[in-house]
Amino acid sequence: MSVPKLYYFDIMGRAEMIRLVLAAAGKPFKDIRFSFEEWPKSYQKKSPFGLCPWVEIDGEVFGQSVAIATYFARQNDLYGKTDKECLQIDQLLNVIQDFLALSTKIFKETDKDKKVNDSLKA
C-alpha cells in the first residue's frame, strides 16, 4: 500500500481523528492541508462528495471521516476486539458527530443573538 494522502483544511476538525489513528498506529501519511480560500478553487472538485476530509489510497479516493478513521483503525488493530467493544467505540464516534454538527451550525450562524442563544442551549 502506498503512503495514504489525507486532504483537509489546516485545522483539527473532522480530520484530526484520522490523523490521530494513523499516528497511534505509527503509519506515515501525507497530511495535505489547504486554506479556506483554496478549498473551492483547487480542492472541492477533487473530493468524492464535494466535502472534506478525504483520503487517497493507492490512487483511489474515499470520503467520510468516520469511515476513513475506522478503516485505518481496523487495518492497524486499533478497533474493538469484540462486537461490544466496537459498539462502545461507534457510540462515542456518533456522539462526536452530533457535537460537530451542532458546533458547525453555531460557528456558521451570522446572527449574533441567535449564535449566543444556540450556544447556551447546546
Ligand X SMILES: N[C@@H](CCC(=O)N[C@@H](CS)C(=O)NCC(=O)O)C(=O)O
Smaller CB separation from ligand X, 4 or 53:
53
Buried b (16+ CB within 10 A) or exposed e, 95-118: eeeeeeeeeeeeeeeeeeeeeeee
Cα separation, 36 vs 24, whole angstroms: 28
Smaller CB separation from ligand X, 14 or 29:
14
Candidate residues 5, 31, 57, 64; the one interacting with ligand X per rule CB under 6 A: 64
The DSSP 8-state label assigned to residue 48 in this structure reads T
Question: Does residue 52 interact with ligand X by CB under 6 A?
Answer: yes
Smaller CB separation from ligand X, 63 or 80:
63
Smaller CB separation from ligand X, 50 or 120:
50
Question: Does residue 51 interact with ligand X by CB under 6 A?
Answer: yes
CA quadruple 82, 84, 90, 95: dihedral sign: negative
Question: Does residue 70 interact with ligand X by CB under 6 A?
Answer: no
Which residues contact ligand X (rule: CB under 6 A)? 13-14, 51-53, 63-66
